[in-house]
């Protein structure tokens, strides 16, 4: 049965996509929906609401409430008539929603949270050049403002120099500028405040002793532009190896054995996604099972489809968007016994 009223709270990095992943299955199961977009990116959600109304969706079935997290988001989290709250965003805010549920009606809370995804390049990687290109694309696409961004490159020490050199070459080849310019390959960060936070992570990496290989500075032009940044000689005890940056900053760590690679991959509070590069299918299965992540890509990264579930483990959240599993979040199971 439909669970009832669903509050969907979505982030600013992919505002329309994230909204669709939650709104569509909730409506399909017969629920009513209140969508709260991030305050930095409300317009696509408001347009979606207008289009739904024009398409004939009855009034009150799909609602859009624009507002800030501490006010509108908190109100939805505490509202006694909200039965399910589905949230994509930071782990810190996810904790707030769990508290709101505990302090109100024990509503179900589904969380898709942060990540510090490892991209493991084993010594038998079938195409090291493609692995390096994928590593660069993965961390610098959308300015690194992605929960699944492969922000930790774990590479075998025997091939580390060549892989890192290739990643740096890709980083330096990116054209930074206006995202509306077709020639641009990396745009600006979302806000000045977020840019300052990312710069704080870079400063901490310098202080901890990581080696800057590329980037690390603001771009000399109006806007929140930052050079694509690569640090190597990162060690597991450094903040850059543990903390989500949510920006175009790559941390490179090396390993000597498969077991060490798995330990490094699992050495964070997150478990959203991972990449594994190997030519051996048995190794691919073994490492994929050992790494704690909701999604593992082998010899690729960021593949996906609406028919495939997406979500994390550990402090990257629980529950799944996309696929038939998304319907489970917005339905209740009822058992009825009848004797005639």
Domains in the chain: ranges and CATH: 5-113+312-330 (3.40.605.10), 118-298 (3.40.309.10)
Please report the pLDDT score of residue 131 as a whole number.
98
The mean pLDDT of 89-97, rounded to a whole number, is 97
For residue range 172-182, what is the model confidence (pLDDT) as tens digits?
999 999 999 99
Mean pLDDT of the chain: 98
Q: pTM value?
A: 0.95
The reported pLDDT for the residue numbered 242 is 98
**Residue 185: which pLDDT band, with cuts at 50, 70 and 90?**
very high
Show the tokens assigned to 83. Answer: 């039965």
Average pLDDT over residues 73-89: 98
- Tell me the pLDDT band of 120, cut-offs 50, 70 and 90: very high
Backbone angles phi, psi at 109, to 5 degrees: -125, 120
Give residue 53's pLDDT band: very low, low, confident or very high (50, 70, 90).
very high
- Distances in whole angstroms, Cα of residue 206 to Cα of each of 99, 169, 234, 240: 36, 21, 10, 10
Burial code (b: 16+ CB inside 10 Å, e: under 16) for 99-117 equals ebbeeeeebbbbbbbbbbb
Task: Give the pLDDT band (50/70/90) at residue 94.
Answer: very high
- Per-residue pLDDT band for 302 (boundaries 50, 70, 90) equals very high
* Residue range 26-54: mean pLDDT, rounded: 98
The confidence score (pLDDT) of residue 54 equals 97
Band of residue 327 on the pLDDT scale cut at 50, 70, 90: very high
For residue 269, indicate whether it is catalytic: no
Select which of 31, 145, 147, 244 is catalytic: 147
Marked catalytic residue, from 31, 39, 68, 112? 112
300 a catalytic residue: no
3-state SS track over the chain: CECCEEEEECCCCCHHHHHHHHHHHHHHCCCEEEEECCCCCCHHHHHHHHHHHHCCCCCCCEEECCCCHHHHHHHHHHCCCCCEEEEECCHHHHHHHHHHHHHCCCCEEEEECCCCCEEEECCCCCCHHHHHHHHHHHHHHHHHCCCCCCCEEEEECCCHHHHHHHHHHHHHHCCECCCCCCCCCECCCCCHHHHHHHHHHHHHHHHHCCEEEECCCECCCCCCCECCEEEECCCCCCHHHCCCCCCCEEEEEEECCHHHHHHHHCCCCCCCEEEEECCCHHHHHHHHHHCCCCEEEECCCCCCCCCCCECCCHHHEECCECCHHHHHHHECCCCCCCCC
């Amino acid at each position: 049965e439909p669970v009832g009223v669903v509050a969907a709270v979505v982030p600013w990095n992919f505002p329309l996509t994230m909204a669709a992943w939650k709104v569509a299955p909730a409506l399909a199961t017969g629920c009513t929906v209140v969508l709260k977009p991030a305050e930095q990116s409300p317009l696509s959600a408001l347009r979606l609401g207008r289009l739904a109304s024009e398409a004939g969706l009855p009034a009150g079935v799909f609602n859009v409430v624009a507002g800030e997290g501490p006010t509108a988001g908190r109100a939805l989290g505490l509202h006694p008539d909200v039965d399910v709250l589905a949230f994509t965003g930071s782990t810190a805010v996810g904790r707030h929603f769990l508290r709101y549920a505990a302090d109100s009606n024990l509503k179900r809370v589904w969380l898709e949270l942060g990540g510090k995804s490892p991209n493991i390049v084993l010594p038998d990687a079938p195409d090291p050049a493609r692995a390096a290109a994928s590593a660069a694309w993965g961390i610098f696409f959308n300015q690194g403002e992605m929960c699944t961004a492969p922000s930790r490159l774990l590479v075998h020490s025997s091939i580390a120099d060549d892989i890192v050199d290739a990643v740096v070459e890709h980083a330096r080849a990116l054209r930074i500028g206006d995202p509306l310019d077709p020639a641009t390959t990396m745009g600006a960060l979302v806000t000045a405040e977020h840019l300052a936070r990312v710069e704080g992570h870079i400063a901490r990496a310098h202080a901890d002793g990581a080696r800057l290989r590329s980037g690390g500075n603001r771009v000399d032009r109006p806007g929140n532009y930052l050079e694509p940044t690569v640090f190597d000689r990162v060690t597991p005890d450094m903040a850059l190896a543990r903390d989500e940056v949510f920006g175009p900053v790559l941390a490179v760590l090396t390993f000597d054995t498969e077991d060490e690679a798995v330990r490094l991959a699992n050495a964070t509070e997150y478990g959203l996604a991972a990449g594994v590069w190997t030519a051996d299918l048995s190794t691919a299965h073994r490492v994929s099972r050992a790494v704690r992540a909701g999604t593992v890509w082998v010899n690729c990264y960021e593949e996906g489809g609406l028919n495939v579930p997406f979500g994390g483990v550990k402090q990257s959240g629980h529950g799944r968007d996309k696929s038939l599993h998304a319907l489970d979040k917005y339905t209740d199971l009822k058992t009825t016994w009848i004797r005639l």
